[in-house]
Amino acid sequence: ETGVTQTPRHLVMGMTNKKSLKCEQHLGHNAMYWYKQSAKKPLELMFVYNFKEQTENNSVPSRFSPECPNSSHLFLHLHTLQPEDSALYLCASSQLGTSTEAFFGQGTRLTVV
């Protein structure tokens, strides 16, 4: 248990579906991240939120839409995805300004069919 919880752990969705990934951190951190981990590719930073404000969007396609309603919760809304979007989506949190160590959730294994 890392203090960062992601749901669901596994998700299979069709290309026309709409789904959401959820992340919750119980560590009191002020920054949250979405990463994409694909086979044979580097860990890709997708979005960064500092104090609920989005501070980075690494050219992520608009079919991925993040939402950060408060500093403890982070969502990734998915719609009209492509098969190449199948990957492990990791959420992380950190406390900026003091220790920037990132704590990761278990990830959501997404399969787009």
Partner 1 sequence: AQSVSQHNHHVILSEAASLELGCNYSYGGTVNLFWYVQYPGQHLQLLLKYFSGDPLVKGIKGFEAEFIKSKFSFNLRKPSVQWSDTAEYFCAVGGYQKVTFGIGTKLQVIP
- For position 60 contacting partner 1 by CB under 8 A, the verdict is no
- For position 104 contacting partner 1 by CB under 8 A, the verdict is yes
- DSSP type of residue 30: S
Binding mask 4-33 for partner 1 (x = CB under 8 A): ---------------------------x-x
Question: Binder to partner 1 among 46, 74, 78, 92 (CB under 8 A)?
Answer: 92
* DSSP per-residue string spanning 67-109: EEEETTEEEEEEES--GGG-EEEEEEEE-TTS----EE---EE
Q: Which is nearer to partner 1, 30 or 72 (CB)?
A: 30
Least separation in angstroms between residue 111's CB and partner 1 is: 16
Question: CA–CA separation, 39 vs 31, rounded Å?
Answer: 26
Query: What's the farthest any 2 CA atoms get from each other in the chain?
Result: 42
Least separation in angstroms between residue 102's CB and partner 1 is: 4
- For position 102 contacting partner 1 by CB under 8 A, the verdict is yes
